[in-house]
Amino acid sequence: MPLKTRIHIASLTTRLFSGYCGLVPVVLALAFTTLVRMHLRDMPLERDEGEYAYTAQLLLRGELPYAAAYTMKLPGVSLACALAMLVFGESAEAIRILTWLVNAISILLVFLLGRRLLDAAAGAVAAVCFAFISLSPNVLGLAAHASHFVMMFALLGALLLLRGIDTGRVLTLALSGAMFGLAFIMKQPGLVFGLFGLAYLSVAKLMGGRPIGTLFKNAVVFVLGLLAPFALISSLLWFGGAFDKFLGSGHSRMRTSTAPHFRLKKGCEFSVQCWPR
């Protein structure tokens, strides 16, 4: 095929995906994932799902998490499951519908983020790949694991962060921090996304030549938004008398996460042993 023809085809493809046409493969991927998830909506609950569902039932009965049931997880997913069970009924199907909704929003957010960073074609490819990977049993994608919820809020935070940096609006940066804070409430490792957002905000402002005072103000607003969800949850548990158990569960989680087989030293030693000689 002549070079001019290949260039013309590439240019035509780029124009085709430049507008809303890039949404076509995304919509098809959404339709496919919807069919799969709705077909399996009455599948028995997985281990983590059962824990979230049980805690959600306690919440619907007026009990506070950590007071009536012990868990090492933060309460974000259980709160989301309680809302889903309130709307769709106390069943496994309610949890599945919630997972489908969260995953669908994440797929759209991946498309929007890819289009924001590169173009519509890149966003569509990223969203379709994400849609199929998130269905894989190898990552327990069919279950309502916390990873789905962390991803959705982290993507929302990233999009709002980019918009806040462009517009300079303090409210947008605060909302971005709050989204990253909600990612942390879903699961402890979600905090890493918030720290990345803070670092990205600082570097972007410094490279943009903004005054240090403006950088400090934006960083403070972002951090306040980041801490707001955790502060709200902590306040509710404090007034409910379950804050001590909440802290104890968090300490146990961190202690478990830093067990010897997860430490960096052990990981490096294992890598050295596996390195081909």
**Which pLDDT score is estimated for 3?**
57
Q: What is the pLDDT of residues 89-146, one digit of tens each?
A: 999 999 999 999 999 999 999 999 999 999 888 999 999 999 999 998 888 888 989 9
**Which pLDDT score is estimated for 8?**
55
Please give the structure tokens belonging to residue 124.
């569509």
What pTM, to 2 d.p., does this model score?
0.81
Q: What is the pLDDT of residues 263-274, one digit of tens each?
A: 555 556 655 555
The DSSP annotation for 57-98 comes to HHHHTTPPTTTSS--SS-SHHHHHHHHHHHHH-SSHHHHHHH
Please give the structure tokens belonging to residue 26.
């995304």
Counting as low any pLDDT under 70, the low residues of the chain are 1-21, 248-277
**Which pLDDT score is estimated for 138?**
86
**Which pLDDT score is estimated for 262?**
45
| Cα–Cα distance for residue pair 109/88, rounded to 1 Å | 25
**CB proximity list for 249: less than 8 A, separation 6 or greater:** 66, 70, 71, 72, 73
Neighbours of 76 (CB within 10 A): 24
The DSSP annotation for 227-265 comes to HHHHHHHHHHHHHHT-HHHHHHHHHHHHHHHT-GGGSHH
Q: Residues 115, 155: contact at Cβ < 8 Å?
A: no
Neighbours of 75 (CB within 10 A): 23
What is the three-class DSSP state of 37? helix
Using alpha carbons, list the distances in angstroms from residue 153 to 78, 84, 148, 158, 172: 15, 17, 9, 9, 14
